[in-house]
Amino acid sequence: MRPTPRSTAPPRKPAERHKLVTYSGALAYYARPPTTLDEDATHTAGKPAASGATAGIYLLAALALFVGIGLGVGWLVGAPAVGGAIGAALGIPSSFYLVYRRFRDI
């Protein structure tokens, strides 16, 4: 009997072995270590963290909005300085009220 012929493909080199493994995003996601929550941080579901910076941004944004509206209306009637002053007079109490409404349940 005759011996069977061997494969005609050249033998693989050990360095080419890594090309056979494919990268999977799911594998990387599930292989990562689990995340842990900071023990000193308070996490409340559904409520954003209240901070002084957020309250200050609310104050400034509401004041700028009211002054801008006052300037626009004042420009339309011919007195932008008076409109800006009226906008500031209305914007200051309104901004404090908006911050109160936003953070009243703290």
Q: How far apart are CA 74 and CA 27, in angstroms?
A: 62
pLDDT tops 60 at residue 20: no
Is 29 inside a domain boundary?
Answer: no
Q: What is the pTM of this model?
A: 0.53
Is 84 inside a domain boundary?
Answer: yes
User: Domain residues for 81?
Assistant: 61-103
pLDDT of residue 103: 84
Q: Is the dihedral of CA 54, 56, 59, 63 positive or negative?
A: negative
pLDDT in tens, 28-84: 666 667 666 655 555 555 666 678 888 999 999 999 999 999 999 999 999 999 999
Stretch (H or E) spanning 39? none
Is 92 inside a domain boundary?
Answer: yes
Q: How far apart are CA 91 and CA 47, in angstroms?
A: 27
Is 98 inside a domain boundary?
Answer: yes
- Work out how many domains the chain is built from and give that number: 1
Is 86 inside a domain boundary?
Answer: yes
- DSSP notation for 8-51: -SPPPPGGGGGGGSPP-HHHHHHHSPPP---TTS---TT-PPP-
